[in-house]
Amino acid sequence: MIFGIIFFVLLGIILFTILKPSKKEKQAQAELEERLKDERIYHPETGRYFTLEELENEVIVVDEHINRIKSDEEIQANYSKDQQEIEYVVRLMLQSDLTRTEDERIYELIDRSELFASSDSRHINHLWTITPQHFLGIAHVSYSIRNGKYEYGDSENQIIGIVQGDSLIGELKKVEDIEIINMGNTQLFRVARKTKFQEFKELFEIIRSSDDIQT
């Protein structure tokens, strides 16, 4: 009986010695916890900074119904050069109080057209209703580039739009690298290169101020 008690006491001491964290392990754990507290990561959907610990614990709550206007400082500090152009476009549309297009017929019209015939794939990230007959947006387009016997893929965000009637064709044709598809009384177009905010803004102002949509 005594020997049994002694055996379990010794076993407990041995296990405690083995499992007890070393000083080095304790220090490493403390440093990790400190980093989790100090490192802050920008979260674009909320416009807030979170620690790694908060991100790992999934404490973020995103309200998809809130449209937030971001400042120049926030955009420039947290987005790449190309993505900044998109963020400025989104901000312009929010400031103009325009809504995103939810009419599935518009997306079906784009699908039926040859607008993206020269690309490998596309995804419409944004499409705003300028008026019930005029739309402007941005699509992420993937395509293949051949260089001699080699071929590689690339992708970029491009301006796209839909307008009714032909009164804007003259203005649209002035835009460099624009591709226009005629579908009856409807004109679909895309600017086949990277989106630039200033160019988007100019197209937006042309469409908004056209004779077709003046009130």
Domains of the chain, residue spans: 98-208
Q: What is the pLDDT of residues 80-107, one digit of tens each?
A: 999 999 999 999 999 998 989 999 999 9
| Phi and psi torsions of 9, nearest 5° | -65, -45
pLDDT at 212 over 60: no
Question: For 18-72, what is each residue's pLDDT tens digit?
Answer: 555 666 666 766 666 665 555 667 666 655 566 767 666 665 555 454 577 889 9
pLDDT at 215 over 50: no
Does the reported pTM lie above 0.75?
no
